[in-house]
Amino acid sequence: MTVRLWGPGVAVPVVGAAPATTIALVRHGETDWNRERRIQGATDIPMNDRGRAQSRATAERLAGGCWDAVVTSPLSRSAETATIIADRLGLAEPDLLPALAERRHGTLEGLTTAERRRLEAEAVPIEGLESRVSVVSRAVPALLWLATRHPGGAVVAVTHGGVIQSVLLHLWERASLPSGSVTNGSVHELRVSASGLELVASDAVAPVEATGS
């Protein structure tokens, strides 16, 4: 099944013939709700100490590259991760990029994944749940915009599991990924060039694995 996640009428920045830009999508460090397997969405849950350790480990991993800037979702768990990374890379304070905020989950927020499955099995209406198409329609143009700001450069973009999953599904043209494939502190390298947005490397499962083959 091929699913192209894209919204109609979305204005996409034109990269043109500018040099390729590297963007590292990073998921924030763990929160207590992550540990409890609760759905966070737009609820602003802070990182815990394990999440800070994960963020420092990711920063060390990225320290081997040459980065120009760090941007982040405005939610505190992402912003703190971005600050830890920017400090380690010797870069300026991260800029906030609202389009990278987590997918809104409406009435699901605060529930455990088991509670969510029970509601879905009962076909209970879920108010306020943002579609993946909506997430892609704001996140992808924001990533292309970053490339116009840093042509030929490299940017770390700290965001959330729901955003990263939506972007990966869009690029891989998949309907779903296995649960837990985008872990806290994971890195997913993208390249933006005249040919568009492409995935270079990812800590998540490979596309063929996502099929269950």
- Give me the active site residues, please: 28, 102
d(CA 49, CA 31): 8
Angle 49-62/76-89 helices, nearest 10 degrees? 40
Closest CA relative to residue 115, chosen from 104, 126, 102 = 126
**What strands lie across the sheet with 21-27, from one edge to the other?**
95-96, 69-72, 154-159, 21-27, 187-193, 196-202
Q: Give the burial class of 157: count Cβ atoms within 10 A of its Cβ; 0-12 exposed, 13-18 middle, 19 or more buried.
A: buried
In this structure, the dihedral spanned by the alpha carbons of residues 179, 205, 197 and 133, taken in order and rounded to 10 degrees, is -20
